[in-house]
Amino acid sequence: MKKKFKLQDLDCANCAAKMEEAIKKIDGVNDASVSFMMQKMTIDADDARFDEIVKEAVAICAKVEPDCKVLL
């Protein structure tokens, strides 16, 4: 399954790169991208664990940049 999520208050491109790198390491993720310019995150992951993976990705985003919110 592949889904796009809007990001709010993502302040730097370096943070976006860190988020993308960490999300790609989550078990079950096929591909992920975090765009600072577009303020969007795309996750392509296993259907069976998708909701769990999204929760992990949201936690990673909060850890890297506490002000950034993922609009689900």
pTM of this structure? 0.95
Extract the tokens encoding 28.
Answer: 């079950």
- Minimal CA–CA distance to 16: which of 63, 58, 64, 69? 64
* Residue 38 dihedral angles phi and psi, to the nearest 5°: -90, -10
Domains and CATH numbers, the chain: 2-71 (3.30.70.100)
Decide the pairing of beta strands 29-35 and 2-8.
unpaired
Q: What is the tens place of the pLDDT at every residue in 19-63?
A: 999 999 999 999 999 999 999 999 999 999 999 999 999 999 999
Confirm if 72 and 6 have CB atoms less than 8 A apart.
no
* CB proximity list for 18: less than 8 A, separation 6 or greater: 64
What per-residue confidence (pLDDT) applies to 68? 95
